Chains A and B, each alone.
Chain A
Amino acid sequence: MQRRESRFKKDRWLIKKEVKSLLRSRWLILGFIISPMFAWLFQGAFISFVYDQSTGSGARSKVYFTLEDKGEIGESLYRNISLNQFNLNITQMINITWDEGQALIDNRSLTVWVIIPDGFTEAYTNYTGDHPIGTVQMYTNTGVLRARAVALKIKNYINALIDYRPWVKEVRIQEYSISPEATYGHQLAIFLIMITSVLAPAPYVSQSFAGEREKHTLEALLVVPMSRIRILGAKLISGLSLTTIYMFFTVVGVLVYNWSILARAPNPIEAAIFTVNISTIPLLMLCQFLVLLCSIGIGVVISCLAKDQATAESVNSLILLVPTMVIGILGFTGSINQFQGELFGFFVQAIPFTHAVIILEGILTGSGTLLGLLGNISYLLGFTLVFLIIGAKLFDREAIIS
């Protein structure tokens, strides 16, 4: 009996020691607190943002309008929509011609375009049920959740408005998607590439700098006849070459993803909205490369300041996770440029990874310009360069070995 108690006492001592040591490891505790918080915060932020962009106060959009019909019903529809802009979540109603609308479609900058064609009233007035009625045409940018939400509101409103005419139960609305490139597949690509690429280099960078210091291999390395900048350069080049493995397997992942979609949906045209267009893979890789490079630059700075590898990895994840989460969600919902001019928009634009998403979206939707593209690439590379210079300065300090 006494022996048993003594054994339990030892167990208690061991548990006590383990808990005490664990509680004294700040980063470990922080990880225990932050991991579940982040998982749920991330999910909450993501779903609430999607909800807000689809149905909530964020689902507001500019609407283009072309009224060709000269009759009473067409004009009544236009007037009612115009008077109910606030309820329909329309931020601005802009009248355009057919040619102007086509131009907006061509440069992929259209949100929602409602067209009430010539003869619409006449078609309804003379409707006897044995010939096709006139239709309202609506072009929607399916890549933008807000545009889709507003288009749906307008559609329901038009139907409700027409419904009082007993002989017309429903107005026919011809819908067109004007942004086939901005598919779910590509939204997912932006989301996944951002999140995984930002965090991917952390283990290597942490091991290569903080890890070497922790294992005391850095000291012997720094006395070889090579300047520290060359050592740093060699480490960066090896980091970049390792990222090619990552990039290669991203391509493999994309192909497997496409295959898994196509396996269930044999019609490639129907499945196209969910798959990633193979021809865009080089572009995805370019953006991924820029993100990886920038992430390595940030990682070098963190790693040169951290005491050990575990701390470097934790700090790296903590610092990068929030902006990555924000950019990932905004990229997924096609809202990266929505907050321009606001404080939040300034924060978003300051994050270097935002510019990779803008490059990606700009090219995929065809709305990007060469100048804009170069500007975004320059920002990303400039940010990386600044961090690499800071990293080099930190690597050159005496304290790097202590």
Chain B
Amino acid sequence: MVSDTVIQTEHLTKIFEKGKKREVIALNDVSLEIDRGEVFGLLGPNGAGKTTLIRLLVGLLTPTSGKAWVLGKDVVTDIDDIRQQVALLPQEAGIYERLTARENLIFYGGLYGIPEEILEERADKLLDIVDLREKENYQVKGFSGGMKRKVLVARALIIEPEIIFMDEPTTGVDTIGARVVRTLLKKLSGEKRQTIILTTHDLNEVSELCDRVGILNEGKLIAVGRPSELEEKYKGANLEDIFVGLVTGEGVYGG
């Protein structure tokens, strides 16, 4: 059987300010495999290491020790090749507010060397999907938080990446907007076999979207598996009980 692993980490560790007073172990010995087409949810309280893991996988940070491969390529030595095929939707609404919605999409795609005609076509489709066609020529600064998120999702998708890293993609989006984003993510993973790694605090979102989840706490990966597998393992406890029990150390008690 041919392995279809697109992300693999081995004992991945990241220590900030190593050897100094302010040393922080942000990620501690994380080994993980994610397959093509999977929607993988990273759960964890604030400061658990979710964003650090994503930043290591897209080459924004360098591992202190351990190894990581994305699409079979080393994140330290082959990062330029990796970046051509991955998109990042950051946690904060990092968007160019003086550009219009369409300009944001086209600009970002242009940085990947995609011809403008193709970008225009893709932008048309994506703006329709995220329901922003009517506002496409408005500067983003006047948009609501939810609309900005939609632009960011569309921006990440315009390059048609093999892997999309989404750091809390529905945070700040209204219920309808969040639904649009989730539907879009399902479509992407189902039809296009795009791999999605998302971090979230919304456990319903995890249940609805994710094929598998990884729970991080204080930099350590403390549980990995399908939601159903975890529920089975912890004797019928729901995902929220499992998460709270593991993270607080109070233990998980099934129903």
Q: Give me the interface of A with B, judged by CB distance under 8 Å.
A: 215-227, 398, 401
Contacts and interface: CB of A to CB of B under 8 A. Distances in A.
Interface in B193-220: none
A218 B62 CA distance: 17
A366 B163 CA distance: 64
Given A225-B83, A226-B111, A227-B80, A217 B94 contact: yes
Contact of B94 (A219, A225, A227, A398): A219
Contacts of B80: 225, 227
Contact of B96 (A217, A222, A226, A227): A217
Given A225-B84, A225-B112, A215 B59 contact: no
Interface of B: 55, 58-62, 80, 83-84, 86-97, 108, 111-113, 155
Contacts of A222: 60
Contact of B60 (A216, A217, A225, A401): A401
A216 B94 CA distance: 4
Contacts of A398: 60-62
Nearest to B94: A216
A94 B77 CA distance: 71
Contact of A223 (B60, B91, B93): B60
Given A215-B92, A224-B83, A401-B60, 5 more contacts: A216-B92, A217-B95, A218-B94, A219-B92, A398-B60
A224 B62 contact: no
Residue of B90, B108, B112 with highest tally of chain A CB at under 10 A: B90
8 contacts: A216-B92, A217-B94, A217-B95, A220-B89, A220-B155, A225-B83, A225-B111, A225-B112
A223 B58 contact: yes
Nearest to B87: A223
A384 to B, nearest CB: 27
A17 B84 CA distance: 48
Contact of B86 (A217, A223, A226): A223
Nearest to B93: A216
Nearest to A226: B111
A143 to B, nearest CB: 46
Contacts of B96: 217
Contact of A220 (B59, B84, B88, B97): B88
Contacts of B88: 219-220, 223
Contact of B108 (A219, A224, A227): A224
A223 B83 contact: yes
Contacts of B59: 223
Contact of A219 (B84, B87, B90, B111): B90
Contacts of A221: 111
A218 B95 CA distance: 9
A310 B80 CA distance: 33
Contacts of B89: 220
Contacts of B111: 221, 224-226
A215 B92 CA distance: 8
A203 to B, nearest CB: 14
Contacts of B112: 224-225
A264 to B, nearest CB: 42
